[in-house]
Amino acid sequence: MQQRATITEQNRPALPRHVAIIMDGNGRWAAQRGLLRSEGHRAGVDAFERICEHAADLGIAHLTFYAFSAENWARPQGEVDALMALFRRQLSEAKRRRVENEQKRWRIRYIGDLQPGGLLPADILALVDEMQAESSMQDKTVVNLAINYGGQQEILQAVKQLAQACATGERDPASLTEQDIEAQLYTAGQPPPDLIIRPSGEQRLSNFLLWQSAYAEFWFSDILWPDFSTADFDQALADYAKRNRRYGGA
Ligand code: FPP
Paired sense of beta strands 141-149 and 195-198, if any: unpaired
Please compute Rg for the chain using Cα positions. Answer: 19
Distance between Cα 228 and ligand 1 center (Å)? 13
Digits of tens for pLDDT over the chain (250 positions)? 445 566 666 666 689 999 999 999 999 999 999 999 999 999 999 999 999 999 999 999 999 999 999 999 999 999 999 999 999 999 999 888 888 888 999 999 999 999 999 999 999 999 999 999 999 999 999 999 999 999 999 999 999 999 999 999 999 999 999 999 999 999 999 999 999 999 999 999 999 999 999 999 999 999 999 999 999 999 999 999 999 888 888 7
How far apart, in Å, are the Cα atoms of 115 and each of 22, 129, 142? 23, 11, 21
Question: What does the alpha-carbon distance between residue 43 and residue 246 come to, in Å, rounded to a whole number?
Answer: 37
> Which of 24, 205, 228 to mutate for ligand 1's pocket (most ligand atoms within 8 Å of CB)?
24
Q: Residue 240 is which amino acid?
A: Y
Spatial strand order in the sheet of 195-198 = 106-111, 141-149, 62-69, 18-22, 195-198, 217-220
Model confidence pLDDT, tens digit, residues 34-76: 999 999 999 999 999 999 999 999 999 999 999 999 999 999 9
Residues sharing a CB contact under 8 Å with residue 63, sequence separation 6 or more, in sequence order? 18, 19, 20, 21, 52, 55, 56, 141, 142, 143, 144
Q: What CA–CA distance (Å, rounded) separates 11 from 15?
A: 11
Q: Calculate helix-pair angle for 37-58, 77-96, nearest 10 degrees.
A: 40
Helix, strand, or coil (residue 242): helix
Task: Please identify every residue annotated as catalytic.
Answer: 24, 72
For ligand 1, atom 14, the nearest C-alpha belongs to 45
Task: Name the β-bridge partners of 148.
Answer: none
Entry pTM = 0.94
